[in-house]
Structure 1
Amino acid sequence: MSGDGAEAEVVRWLSGEIGPPIETAISRVFLGETLAYKLKRHVSLGYVEFGTAERRLWALERELAFNARTCDIYRRLRPITRAAGGGLEWEGPGEVVDYALEMRRFDDEAVLSKSPERLDGDMAEALGRTIAGVHREAPLKPQGGLTALAFTVGSNAQLLRELAPELGAARVEELVARTEAEFERQSALLAHRSATGFARQCHGDLHLGNILVEDGRPVLFDCIEFNDLLSDLDVQYDLAFLLMDLEFRGRRGAAVRVLSAYLDEAARSFPPELWDGLAALPLMLSVRAGVRAHVLAHSADAETARRYVDAAIAHLSPAPPRLVAVGGLSGSGKSTFARALAGRIAPSPGAVILRTDEIRKRLLGAPPTQRMDPAIYTPEAYARTYDALMGHAGAMLRAGRSVLLDATFIDPALRARAEAVARDCGVPFHGAWLEAPAEVLEARVAARTGDASDATVEVLRDQLRRVEGMDIGWRRVDATQPAAAAAEGWAAGLS
């Protein structure tokens, strides 16, 4: 039987056994009650070669191995064999006709593209740290990174030009020209990152449709296995797909929470150039939007594809960065306010939040929410934490990324130091000071659980004594109002 005939036979057999498949350009997935089976289609496309049984088996083996790094959904390979009577069966003694990848079923509604509202603050935090952990353990691929991004920039240009009648020729040419110019401008940085540990075997297709929530935690699945040019990536480019997806869906608050958590977690293992690499984030966001544009145009959704082209162009014109510092006593809601504010600060997807509570624990090698012995709060540790805070902020500002500092800032010298960082980097500075009655602050501190802050009521009372009569000098915020309303009002005053 010909290859096409064998493929059709296998599809008919599995459709009869399980039900009709869900089809993509390169796969068919058959959904049973508790299990699912994936077949590779017998296709030869520009970016994938599944024309032979050997190549399909190779891809399925890699899919099983690669996804095992992030989830337990993928179970085993099952040969489909020729039965004695001429039909097909699972794992019989006859000739192998094809292979299927067995997976366990999961709740389709748990996929974040179906319910993006599930990516609230805590889940976004967990997702950012999960992705950073996956990247930390991923195999190094120094030949990737720059090479892979160059491939996609070229592929996007070709595919978008082919679709110019649907997408608008002038806009396509503008996007291609600006992308190529920005890629050239960032090439040295990207090459350095590839050589220093940032190019790794990544997920490759990290958007909301390939992330689900199970047992209260994010799970990554369906990574790219069939083309190393699409998976041996700069880790930031891998993350950029998710950030772009969230931004496009109007979920900037979640996007910047993912980014901030990712960077704090990644800083535990990646070199200090982590911060410098943010200069290439606008390019990476734009390239990811360009990919979505031609994919959707090929799927006959030209309207949405044109919106992605517009988004891709917009990412290449980021607003200049600024430094925002949020201070206040323990319990004033600095972190809640900062998180509500971050997504309102350009450039996309928002200002990276740096928390002294998280930096302190990172420097000590402790998890971000672990309670610490008060003995660690020495003058030396205090100075080291603020040195790191200011150093990280300066590096990100120079890379074009807005930064939001979350600390008490009770010491006037530290407030002056934050202002000096902005001045040295040539960016605007904005200070916010959160205030609330002492009894409100005490109640909040006493009720706090599962947060990076170790402040106690006794610590708060000492802070109250220290700021009594002090002229703070920053714009004051009523911390008794809802954080979202306070952030919206405060952001409206930015110039």
Structure 2
Amino acid sequence: MSTPAAPGGAEAEAEVTAWLAARTRPPIETAISRVFLGDDVAYKLKRHVSLGYVEFGTPERRLWALERELSFNQRTCDIYRRLIPITRAAAGGLEWEGPGEVVDYALEMRRFDDRAVLASAPEALDGDMAEALGRTVAGFHKSAPLKPQGGLTALAFTIGSNAQLLRELAPELGRDLVEDLVARTEAELERQAALLAHRSAAGFARQCHGDLHLGNILVEQGRPVVFDCIEFNDLLSDLDVQYDLAFLLMDLEFRGRRDAAVRVLSAYLDEAARSFPPELWDGLAALPLMLSVRAGVRAHVSAHSADVATARRYVEAGVAHLSPAPPTLVAVGGLSGSGKSTFARAVAPHIGASPGAVVLRTDEIRKRLLGVPPTHALSRDHYTPSSQGQTYDAMIRDARALLGAGRAVVLDATFLDAGLRRRVEQLARDAGVAFEGVWLDAPPDVLERRVAGRTGDASDADLAVLRGQLARLGEIAADWPAVDVSGPTEAAAAAWLARRG
């Protein structure tokens, strides 16, 4: 009989790997883990590695990491089940949870459909799913433990790490391009340092996911599920929540899905505004930096995976994020059923800095102020002149903060009152940004059909509300350029964007 391998050594790692592979499929390997897939279960082992950013060279460190991985990921999903010791059997082999010496530990997880991971099917992230994902991430951040020592510290660490790793790859990626990105990133970090430090102290630095891209999000039972949080290095997980979100936004934009990215961002902000302080909006000034840093991370990861062409595209994207388009204020008005939300969401990805303009909807803001879910139905008692005024005041306040942070905004409201239209025009002048007002117009029968068929939306407007608006149409006298939306709203939005140039 062969001599058992000593716990923690290379021989033990090889023995455990072979033992598990014989009971499952060949492992999926990453730099720090091996995942073994069974029919309805998966087992994860930590590799015996000592890298610059992770230390798994001892059994104690591997157990520490697995315990954290189990704990961190149980906050977001039910995929992670338990830790199981792999022990030495009396006959000299290995077994699960036996009385003998522990050789290693495995993290047991339930299997999921690999085809449900969004990296495999980014087209599955339609509007409603993007909305749900943004709100899911905001809810996760709301309950995440505070880590005031993180935030700025973690971002500065990654910027330094990116600079070192990209410079090592400069002969392949292009020395001038790499140096341009490094210089721009360091300058922007210095410019945003005070804001980032303030956000850390104000509660925005938390124990985050750390690796929030489409490869770590799947769709199950019609809802987004986030998994595979970073557990092995606090400098990669104790982050500003916006930097955590930035990985997802950058990934979507890089894949050509600005439409989904801006829907995620708008939903995230509306949900986060329910629990985070008002500095939430000011923090958007640092979003270009955060997007750029995330692109830098993917650049060296891609290069180390021998995909130099993609790595270079990431470096170019990182540079582009640090040259954001100036902010613009767009206001979309019209009667109920005219398709304001559809129009606003269609044009938002094409306006302003990446990934596009934030959409502010009075229908959502009203629910936020009352502390009820966005799709919670409200009675007409909540639509008093006073509550309407509070809703528009909040919308204008949020828009002012976003514009001040360099973020383009699309306002989605009826704007039936001329005084409100003048207020948002003045808001643009005060902020020193361009303004574009749009009035959506369609025949009454089209409006009625749309209102009658609406379900699962934040709007509470019914046919009675619409008919009341139609009765007042002669006194509304909308003076913004009209857009005919009697046909498909998306087509009208595309035509408007084409005319806008």
**Other-structure match for 1:116:** 122
One of 294, 312, 318 as aligned partner of 2:324: 318
TM-aligned CA deviation for residue 61 of structure 1: 0.1
Q: Secondary structure at the match of 1:354?
A: strand
**Other-structure match for 1:6:** 12
Q: Deviations over 1:81-131 (max 9, x none)?
A: 111111111111111000000000000000000111110000000000000
Q: Partner letter of residue 480 of structure 2?
A: W
**Other-structure match for 1:428:** 434
Write the mapping of 1:89-104 to structure 2, written as runs, cut at 5 A.
Answer: 89-104=95-110
TM-aligned CA deviation for residue 476 of structure 1: 1.1
Residue 234 (structure 2) pairs with residue 235 (structure 1)? no
TM-aligned CA deviation for residue 481 of structure 1: 2.3
Question: Where in structure 1 are there 5+ consecutive unaligned residues?
Answer: none
TM-score by length of 2: 0.98
2:74·2:80 contact (CA, 8 Å) conserved in 1? Answer: yes
Write the mapping of 1:20-419 to structure 2, written as runs, cut at 5 A.
Answer: 20-419=26-425
- For 1:375 and 1:480, how far apart are their aligned partners in 2? 31
- For 1:346 and 1:167, how far apart are their aligned partners in 2? 28
**Other-structure match for 1:478:** 484
TM-score by length of 1: 0.99
TM-aligned CA deviation for residue 448 of structure 1: 1.2
TM-aligned CA deviation for residue 39 of structure 1: 0.2
Q: Partner letter of residue 200 of structure 2?
A: S
Residue 475 (structure 2) pairs with residue 494 (structure 1)? no
Q: Which moved more, 1:5-14 or 1:485-494?
A: 485-494
TM-aligned CA deviation for residue 470 of structure 1: 4.4
Q: Deviations over 1:161-204 (max 9, x none)?
A: 00001110000000000000000000000000000000000000
Q: Deviations over 1:299-358 (max 9, x none)?
A: 000000000000000000001000000000000010011111111112110100000000
TM-aligned CA deviation for residue 494 of structure 1: 2.8
Q: Which moved more, 1:10-19 or 1:20-29?
A: 10-19
Q: Partner letter of residue 491 of structure 1?
A: L
Q: Partner letter of residue 499 of structure 2?
A: G
2:209·2:237 contact (CA, 8 Å) conserved in 1? Answer: yes
- For 2:415 and 2:497, how far apart are their aligned partners in 1? 20
Q: Partner letter of residue 342 of structure 2?
A: T
Q: Deviations over 1:139-169 (max 9, x none)?
A: 0000000000000000000000000011100
- For 2:489 and 2:93, how far apart are their aligned partners in 1? 65
TM-aligned CA deviation for residue 19 of structure 1: 2.1
**Other-structure match for 1:465:** 471
TM-aligned CA deviation for residue 443 of structure 1: 1.4
TM-aligned CA deviation for residue 464 of structure 1: 1.4
Q: Secondary structure at the match of 2:439?
A: strand
Q: Secondary structure at the match of 1:401?
A: coil
- For 1:469 and 1:140, how far apart are their aligned partners in 2? 52
One of 439, 461, 475 as aligned partner of 2:445: 439
Q: Partner letter of residue 126 of structure 2?
A: D
Q: Partner letter of residue 358 of structure 2?
A: V
Q: Secondary structure at the match of 1:468?
A: helix
TM-aligned CA deviation for residue 483 of structure 1: 2.4
TM-aligned CA deviation for residue 484 of structure 1: 2.3
Question: Where in structure 2 are there 5+ consecutive unaligned residues?
Answer: none
Q: Deviations over 1:404-439 (max 9, x none)?
A: 000000100001111111010000000111110001
TM-aligned CA deviation for residue 482 of structure 1: 1.9
Q: Deviations over 1:27-54 (max 9, x none)?
A: 0000000000000000000100000000
